[in-house]
């Protein structure tokens, strides 16, 4: 069980991930091109083909490379993608890369704090219910967990908007009016705590229960182990035993649950962006799909898939690093 | 004798399951007889009763077109439950058949199907559903297709891992040696042992499917208006929350109640059917 084996395992997993991403890119490309209507229809808007003239249309088609067979179109797209060129959006009539990076920044502004909230609240509630196993607090936390898993994100978001935007008027009802670009760091921090905390809380809501459940299960096991008893008998304070000794080992399975919940967070971000009319990547995907802007759909889907697959890879690697019992096969 | 065994069975049933079964059955009854139970026609607009708060005539108030919210929520259960139920059943069917086949054959087929699975699962489910619906166009049928396609690989993984424990047992070898056909072995020898897993998996999936259905119709990728649909109602009435929040919150509460009881029902089933088996967590 040397480091070689581990390195080999990681290399294998990375290779598998690259292959998955490659096949995924073919998959997205093919099904996106199955959409009825192409870029030309979109560019013509309401104009009829006759009024523009067949020649112009053919010329445009050639210019955009749409007259080539699908596999050649795919290769062109892939080569450009690998060079960091995401293409040109039809609806924005601008290169996609800067648009996407701005939107991703906005989405991360919601998602990263959501992940932190998920970890902190999930861990604390999990440990608290493990310490009080079978007692009222434990039951109420697990009931709250079921409740949180059963409430759609859009409802939480709507409740926040109803209370804080409609009734109290603390936050705007539509978040696309907030301009994060022109703010200083300090300003954006204060805006964050005043305003953006609500969508972040909404995103975290659904995932907290997973983390909490997993923490509870592993902590209950740890608290029954011999080293915890030894530490207690040696006179280490109970709180220290729980929060330092046991949690350190109990964290192991939780780390993977946290990493695997990134998908949940992405999905949550999409919905929450719709609820709060927030200009992030989720609203961009919906806009691209509604307008059938194929380059934009391809780019956004690839980015989401990339984030998702890489976070799963990270989960796998973390798990194998942390757990010496796993076999690298 | 027979009565006795029924009683024993009932005694073994966890409280969660009894509670869950009662509520799930009543939800099904409400949804099947929705048109008869609803006090008004769900799409009838009463122009002299716009945006009304709950009253004696309209128990849960009316929306901005003067439609009765109670009737819309009752009839709306059909659309949401229908999409979720049918897609879960399709996913369960294909997931378990493919899962058992690949577990039985193993080798290259298994490896190939599992890699396809990895590709299909390289998106968060909601984003994948958005892509499928974006291509096929939004409707009830495409919502069903999208949710089924998402859940087939996830169901398959769970069923396959359970089936792998069974295919290596001696009685399967015995069946092979005695010359039984593959389909006989799969459907008559392996499947019966997988029923508990399949049923529990189905009940867990159903809860997720309802949330996904509601979320999809909330972002406009479900059935089109004016169909009474929970997610869609919450979305279309959202802009008028200031005047009357009831049209938004009533369907949301209906979603929560449904998902909670299905989750409780699923937990109960798990306690009853799988209590001795340790089960890998299927996400």
* Whole-number Å distance between alpha carbons of A108 and A200: 10
pLDDT the model gives residue B88: 94
Q: Which residues contact B127 (CB under 8 A, 6 or more apart)?
A: A266, A267, A270, A285, A301, A304
Task: Identify the band that residue B187 occupies on the pLDDT scale cut at 50, 70 and 90.
Answer: confident
- Minimum mean pLDDT range among A83-87, A279-283, B198-202: A83-87
Contact A271 B218 (CB under 8 A): yes
The pair of three-digit structure tokens given for residue A61, joined into one six-digit string: 């088609």
pLDDT the model gives residue A86: 77
Indicate whether this complex's ipTM tops 0.85: no
Contact A270 B127 (CB under 8 A): yes
- Minimum mean pLDDT range among A323-327, B120-124, B228-232: A323-327
Cα-based distances in Å from B57 to A277, B68, B75, B251: 35, 9, 18, 19
* Whole-number Å distance between alpha carbons of A31 and B145: 15
Task: Identify the band that residue A11 occupies on the pLDDT scale cut at 50, 70 and 90.
Answer: confident
Q: Which range has highest mean pLDDT (A112-116, A175-179, A248-252)?
A: A112-116
| CA–centroid distance for A70 within its chain | 30
In this model, does residue B258 exceed pLDDT 60?
A: yes
* Whole-number Å distance between alpha carbons of B250 and B70: 8
Tell me what the mean pLDDT of segment A172-188 comes to: 67
In this model, does residue A275 exceed pLDDT 80?
A: yes
Mean pLDDT, chain B, rounded, equals 81
Could you say which residues from 161 to 190 on chain B have a Cβ atom under 8 Å away from some Cβ of chain A? Answer: none
pLDDT the model gives residue B23: 85
Of the candidates A32, A150, A263, the beta carbon closest to that of B259 is on: A150
Mean pLDDT, chain A, rounded, equals 80
In this model, does residue B281 exceed pLDDT 70?
A: no
More confident residue, A172 or A288: A288
Digit-coded pLDDT (tens) for A63-122: 666 767 778 788 888 888 888 777 778 777 788 888 888 888 888 888 888 888 998 999
Tell me what the mean pLDDT of segment A168-192 comes to: 69
Contact B131 A309 (CB under 8 A): no
pLDDT the model gives residue A329: 44
Percent of chain B at pLDDT above 90?
A: 10
Task: Identify the band that residue A176 occupies on the pLDDT scale cut at 50, 70 and 90.
Answer: low
Mutate to test the interface with B, among A267, A283, A298 (most CBs of B within 10 A): A267
In this model, does residue A167 exceed pLDDT 80?
A: no
Task: Identify the band that residue A41 occupies on the pLDDT scale cut at 50, 70 and 90.
Answer: low
Torsion (CA) B139, B140, B144, B146 in degrees, nearest 10: 20
| CA–centroid distance for A69 within its chain | 34
Mutate to test the interface with A, among B16, B111, B123, B252 (most CBs of A within 10 A): B123
Percent of chain A at pLDDT above 90?
A: 2
- Minimum mean pLDDT range among A34-48, A145-159, B124-138: A34-48
Of the candidates A260, A286, A308, the beta carbon closest to that of B122 is on: A308
Digit-coded pLDDT (tens) for A69-78: 778 788 888 8
CB < 8 Å to A150, chain B: 207, 211, 256, 259-260, 263
Task: Identify the band that residue B147 occupies on the pLDDT scale cut at 50, 70 and 90.
Answer: very high
The pair of three-digit structure tokens given for residue A91, joined into one six-digit string: 């609806």
pLDDT the model gives residue B279: 42
**Residue B266 touches chain A, beta carbons under 8 Å:** no
pLDDT the model gives residue A180: 61
Could you say which residues from 19 to 38 on chain A have a Cβ atom under 8 Å away from some Cβ of chain B? Answer: 19-21, 23-24, 27-28, 31-32, 34-35
* Whole-number Å distance between alpha carbons of A237 and A239: 6
Mutate to test the interface with A, among B120, B130, B251, B258 (most CBs of A within 10 A): B130
The pair of three-digit structure tokens given for residue B6, joined into one six-digit string: 């029924």
- Kind and range of the H or E element at A271? helix A262-275
Torsion (CA) B68, B69, B73, B75 in degrees, nearest 10: 10
Torsion (CA) A115, A119, A120, A126 in degrees, nearest 10: 150
More confident residue, A150 or B2: A150
Digit-coded pLDDT (tens) for B107-120: 888 888 888 888 88
Contact B241 A274 (CB under 8 A): no
Digit-coded pLDDT (tens) for B62-105: 777 777 778 888 888 888 889 999 999 999 999 999 999 898 88
More confident residue, A141 or A5: A141
Could you say which residues from 187 to 216 on chain B have a Cβ atom under 8 Å away from some Cβ of chain A? Answer: 207, 211, 214-215
Could you say which residues from 58 to 117 on chain B have a Cβ atom under 8 Å away from some Cβ of chain A? Answer: 115
């Amino acid at each position: 069980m040397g480091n070689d084996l581990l390195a080999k395992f990681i290399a294998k997993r990375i290779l598998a991930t690259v292959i998955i991403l490659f096949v995924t890119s073919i998959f997205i490309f093919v099904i996106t091109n199955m959409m009825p209507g192409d870029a030309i229809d979109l560019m013509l808007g309401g104009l009829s083909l006759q009024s523009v003239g067949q020649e112009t249309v053919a010329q445009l088609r050639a210019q955009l490379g749409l007259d080539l067979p699908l596999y050649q179109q795919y290769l062109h797209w892939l080569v450009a993608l690998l060079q960091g060129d995401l293409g040109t959006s039809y609806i924005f009539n601008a290169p996609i890369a800067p648009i996407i990076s701005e939107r991703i920044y906005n989405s991360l502004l919601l998602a990263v704090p959501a992940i932190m909230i998920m970890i902190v609240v999930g861990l604390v509630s999990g440990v608290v219910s493990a310490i009080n196993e079978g007692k009222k607090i434990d039951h109420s936390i697990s009931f709250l967990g079921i409740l949180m898993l059963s409430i759609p994100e859009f409802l939480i978001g709507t409740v926040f908007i109803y209370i804080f935007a409609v009734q109290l008027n603390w936050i705007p009802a539509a978040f696309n009016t907030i301009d994060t670009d022109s703010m200083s760091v300090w300003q954006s921090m204060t805006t964050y705590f005043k305003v953006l905390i609500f969508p972040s809380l909404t995103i975290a809501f659904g995932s907290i229960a997973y983390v909490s459940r997993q923490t509870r299960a592993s902590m209950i096991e740890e608290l029954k182990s011999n080293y915890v008893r030894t530490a207690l008998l040696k006179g280490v304070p109970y709180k220290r035993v729980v929060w330092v000794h046991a949690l350190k080992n109990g964290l192991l399975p939780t780390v993977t649950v946290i990493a695997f919940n990134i998908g949940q967070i992405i999905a949550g971000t999409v919905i929450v962006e719709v609820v709060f009319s927030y200009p992030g990547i989720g609203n961009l995907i919906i806009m691209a799909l509604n307008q059938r802007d194929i380059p934009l759909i391809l780019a956004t889907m690839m980015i989401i898939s990339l984030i998702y697959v890489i976070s799963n890879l990270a989960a796998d690697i973390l798990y194998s690093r942390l757990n010496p019992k796993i076999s690298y096969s | 004798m027979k009565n006795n065994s029924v009683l024993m069975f009932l005694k073994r049933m966890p409280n969660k399951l009894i509670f869950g079964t009662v509520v799930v059955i009543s939800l099904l009854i409400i949804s099947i007889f929705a048109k008869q139970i609803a006090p008004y026609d769900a799409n009838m607009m009463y122009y002299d009763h716009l945006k009304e708060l709950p009253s004696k005539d309209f128990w849960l108030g009316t929306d901005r077109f003067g439609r009765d919210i109670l009737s819309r929520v009752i009839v709306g259960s059909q659309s949401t439950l229908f999409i979720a139920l049918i897609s879960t059943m399709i996913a369960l069917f294909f997931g378990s058949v493919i899962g058992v086949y690949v577990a039985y054959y193993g080798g290259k087929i298994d490896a190939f199907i599992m890699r396809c699975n990895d590709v299909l699962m390289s998106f968060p489910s909601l984003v994948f559903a958005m892509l499928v619906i974006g291509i096929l166009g939004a409707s009830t049928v495409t919502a069903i297709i999208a949710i089924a396609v998402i859940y087939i690989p996830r169901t398959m993984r769970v069923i396959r891992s359970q089936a792998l424990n069974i295919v290596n047992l001696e009685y399967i070898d015995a069946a092979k040696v005695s010359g039984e056909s593959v389909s006989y072995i799969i459907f008559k020898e392996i499947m019966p042992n997988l029923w508990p897993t399949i049923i529990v998996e189905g009940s867990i999936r159903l809860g997720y499917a309802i949330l996904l259905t509601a979320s999809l119709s909330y972002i406009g990728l479900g059935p089109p208006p004016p169909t009474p649909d929970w997610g869609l109602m919450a979305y279309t009435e959202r802009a008028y929350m200031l005047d009357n929040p009831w049209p938004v919150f009533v369907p949301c509460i209906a979603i929560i109640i449904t998902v909670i009881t299905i989750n409780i029902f699923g937990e109960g089933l798990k306690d009853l059917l799988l209590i001795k088996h340790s089960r890998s967590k299927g996400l």
